[in-house]
Each structure stands twice: as structure tokens, then as C-alpha cells.
Amino acid sequence: MQDVNSPLDDEKKADTSAKTILNLKNLSIGYNDPLVSKISKEIIAGESIAIVGPSGIGKTTLLRTIAGLIIPVSGEISHTIPKRGGIGYIPQKLGLIRHSSVRNNIALGARTRRSRWYPALFPLDRSLKNDIEDAMESLNIKDLANDPVRILSGGQQRRVAIARTLIQRPQLILADEFLGELDSENIKSIVKATKKIIEEIGATLIMVEHNEERARQIADRIWRIKGNELIEDGDFDQ
């Protein structure tokens, strides 16, 4: 089965101002044996892409390979993103500091904008403090600012992780089931806030999502893993 190109590809290639930030060339991903093979995709700055498909088919493996956490079986990944600070990653296991407060967890992300080395030691200036407050308000966790993360619900912790990543202002955001553990009302507010922040910072989003209805709420493009192939569904009008 041949890869199906999205009409968005042609439109953005025709736009000379469009900037390619990521190229996947004949990429095969997996461990000893490839899970998905012959992936060739061009990603334009500002796009939002959802990777969908059944559990265990290779969605997270593809995301982690793009992040540089897994070595490809074969093929090439090229990008124009800075090695440090250019990629923000929201994993399924959130990696929050459980004994620390919501504000301090988000502040750790904010500090990386000033210093990539030992960010916890870097003082917060007024601009960063304001951004932290804005991020908490956008994601509806401002009233939890001083609470330790360990007492929060799973959905609340996920909102903290989203805020911590978005406040870093990365060029590329990789999100693994980042809408998990959220009810329908929270999903609407998170999607709205996430899209707003992504537009403000001009970031590109590649997300793994098992729920296609959720994927359609935020993605411009859908990459579907079927068998051992990656097939593009096309665009969605938001």
C-alpha cells in the first residue's frame, strides 16, 4: 500500500514561506524487528499531527524515535530544531516532582528558557513569573498553585505536565496520550488552551492519540499506523 499524501503537503510546499522543520526519510522503527517501515514524511512548522492506531502497533515507538530516545532500525531523521530546548516531550509517565508544588514544577520548565544547565538554580525574572501565572490560568490549575503534585488527581497532574512543557516554548512538541485521564469538559478546555499557546509560540505538535475524535479536535493531519505502514488520512477542518 502506498503512502497517501495530504493536500496540506502540496499547499504548504507551494508556499515558499513555509519552513520544513522535520524530515523522515525511508524510516523504519522498532527494536530487533521493524514495527513500521518505509516512513517518509515532511513536517512543516506550525502543523499539528496526530498518530493513531491500535495499542501496541508502534505509535509511541515512532514518537520516541523522533524524540531521539530510540535509534531507528534504518532510515534518516533530519531537522532544523536546536538540540537543547527545541523539543518538548510530554510522556505517558509524566515525570513530575511529586513532593514539589504545581507552581514549582511549572517553574522548572520556565527556567529552561534561560538556562539549559541546572535550570532549578536559575532565578525567575518577572517575565517568567507572569508566564507561569498565565499558563496555570489557561490550564485551569491556578487555584492548585501551592499544592504538592502528589495530592492531585491524574487529570490535574496531566495539566501540570502540559503547562510545564508548553512554557518552555519549544519548536516541536511531542505528546504521548497527553489528553488521557481527562473528562470531556476538561478535554475541551485543554485543547483550546493548548492550541492557543501553540499558535502563540509557533510550535509544531506531533501527538499520539488512541481516540480519533480527540485527535480530530486538535490535528491538522492524521498519521494512521496500519499493519507495518504509516498512511496519511488527510486534513481536518477544525
Q: Which residues pair with 237 in a beta bridge?
A: none
Which tens digit of pLDDT belongs to each residue from 13-40?
Answer: 444 357 889 999 999 999 888 999 999 9
- Backbone φ and ψ for 20, nearest 5 degrees, come out as -80, 125
pTM for the model stands at: 0.79
Q: Indicate if the pLDDT at residue 49 is higher than 90.
A: yes
Please give the pLDDT value at position 64. 94
CB 205 within 8 A of CB 198: yes
- Backbone φ and ψ for 2, nearest 5 degrees, come out as -85, 150
Which tens digit of pLDDT belongs to each residue from 141-189?
Answer: 999 999 999 999 888 898 899 888 888 888 899 999 888 767 777 787 7
Q: What is the C-alpha separation between 70 and 62, in angstroms, rounded? A: 9
User: Which cell is 83 given?
Assistant: 538540540
CB 131 within 8 A of CB 75: no
CATH superfamily of 1-81+203-238: P-loop containing nucleotide triphosphate hydrolases (3.40.50.300)
